[in-house]
Amino acid sequence: MTTLAERLAIYTNSLTYKDIPEDVIHEVKRRVIDSLGCALGAYNSEPVKIVRDVAGSIENPHSATIIGTKKRTSPELAAFVQMAQ
């Protein structure tokens, strides 16, 4: 029996762009653009600066780049910085 994750992976792997309804593609594009705009707008806010500084002070052998900087930190802290934006 396959797990839900495996079934989802099989389904998404079989999709092609033409299989996705036009209205869904439009809404996904809107949300991606909105998310990028929110992230850019919040980039220099004081809370996000604090989160970036704290995350940038943590070293990790399996590091990830904090987007918009050259700082590296743990993957989960890099993701946290993105969520803070």
Assess whether pLDDT exceeds 90 at residue 84: no
User: How many folded domains does the chain comprise?
Assistant: 1
pTM beyond 0.75: the answer is: no
Helix (H) or strand (E) holding 47: helix 46-56
pLDDT at 7 over 90: yes
- Enter the tokens of residue 53: 């500084």
Evaluate whether residue 10 is within a structural domain. no
Query: Which domain covers residue 32, as residue numbers?
Result: 16-84
Q: 9 in a domain, yes or no?
A: no
* Position 37 in a domain: yes
3-state secondary structure 1-34: CCCHHHHHHHHHHHCCHHHCCHHHHHHHHHHHHH
The residue that leads in pLDDT, 47 or 85, is 47
Is 80 inside any structural domain? yes
- Cα-based distances in Å from 42 to 29, 50, 77, 79, 84: 20, 12, 17, 15, 8
Residue 39: per-residue pLDDT: 86
**Is the confidence at residue 85, as pLDDT, over 90?**
no
Model confidence over 8-62: pLDDT tens digits?
Answer: 999 999 999 999 999 999 999 999 999 999 988 999 999 999 999 999 999 888 8
